[in-house]
Amino acid sequence: MIYSLAAEKYWVQKHKYHDAEKKYYEQDSKNFNTFSLVSEIVKAREHIRNSLEKIDGIPSLASSGPMDFLDRLNALEKEQAALRKMMLYLEQICSESTERISILEAHIGL
């Protein structure tokens, strides 16, 4: 029993099966690439939206202009100078108190 493969229909119509398989995988890859590209775009938009929501004060600074920014900067500098002056005063009080305590301890004999 010798079989001739040439007589089989499958081998005669092999090009049809090959073309059908090729079309299937091409369509599948196109759908995959389109889907992945769309999902990447959606992720990028979501990331941009989240980043913009996290930034506070940008619209108010942009609308208020540079003069408002300079006024706020000057107010902060004045506040820093006042805090520095108060800190020096507190350091002076602390050192004077420490000196008085050591004098009292020496006088009592501790």
pLDDT at 79: 94
Identify the residue whose tokens are 């081998």: 11
pLDDT at 82: 93
What is the distance in angstroms between the CA of the first residue and the CA of the last residue of the chain? Answer: 122
pLDDT at 49: 78
Give the contacts of 61 (CB within 8 A, at least 6 positions apart). 68, 69
pLDDT at 60: 57
pLDDT one-digit tens code per residue, 51-105: 777 775 555 555 556 678 888 889 999 999 999 999 999 999 999 999 999 999 8
**CB of 32 closer than 8 Å to CB of 38:** no
| Phi, psi (rounded to 5 degrees) for 75 | -65, -40
The rounded Cα 11 to chain-centroid distance in angstroms is: 59
pTM above 0.85? no
